[in-house]
Amino acid sequence: MADDVPHRHALAPYPHAATDAQPTFTREDEDGRVVDRLAFVGWCALAGILAGLLGGLLWVYLAEPPIVPPSAEGSFPGERELDQQTEVTMWFLAVGVVGGLIAGLLAGWRGHRHGWVSVIGVLVLGAVAAAATYRSGVLFHPDPEVLGGLVTSGIVIDSWVVALGWPIGGLIGALGAIFGWRKEQKSLRVAPESSSVLPGR
């Protein structure tokens, strides 16, 4: 008879507890995942073009190419002009890091379900954006010309190493987005204690 008496605080099975049944994936499901991943990488490439165009406009707005006074031997930049050229290169790096950080944050949040493919997508975005920033900057900036006896130089960068600003900023932003998403998912998986205990009779 004692076995017939219900326990007052018997534990109820957790409604979302894992079962022994394992999910099955068909060939169609796997093909669909591949298509989604390729579409995400393509989306990142298009986003890189748009981000690069905006980055090029910002680079041209912030950077001030040096103005060199001509001489009988030609136009040779001095120390001041070389410093200005360095600033042009550093502005390219700054635009890339900040732009990559924002773009990587958005891409990482959107593509978190794709796993490691999201990292490839962010790298593609950064590479395309870096190239688009430079090409659009050269396109939007006026060609070198003579103004009042002074020669204005075109907008160029001293080293291609600064082009890594876009991919590096993108990776930092993507890692931040992925970490934030995982933290949110972990908090959602924590079940309230009241849901695992039946109310007393």
pLDDT tens column, 97-134 = 999 999 999 988 887 777 788 889 999 999 999 999 99
Residue 68's closest CA among 59, 56, 76, 60?
76
Residue 89 near residue 63, CB atoms below 8 Å: no
d(CA 180, CA 112): 10
DSSP class of residue 194 equals G
Q: Which two tokens stand for residue 9?
A: 């605080």
- Helical H segments across the chain, by residue range: 27-62, 79-110, 116-140, 165-189
- Does residue 181 carry a pLDDT above 80? no
Q: Is 50 exceeded by the pLDDT of residue 136? A: yes
Q: What is the pLDDT of residue 17?
A: 47
| 113 compared with 199, residue with greater pLDDT | 113
Q: Who has greater pLDDT, 143 or 33?
A: 33
Q: Which band of pLDDT confidence, cut at 50, 70 and 90, is reported for residue 22?
A: low
* Sequence-distant (≥ 6) Cβ neighbours of residue 13 within 8 angstroms: none
In angstroms, rounded to a whole number, what is the distance separating the alpha carbons of residues 83 and 19?
Answer: 66
- Specify the pLDDT at position 191: 47
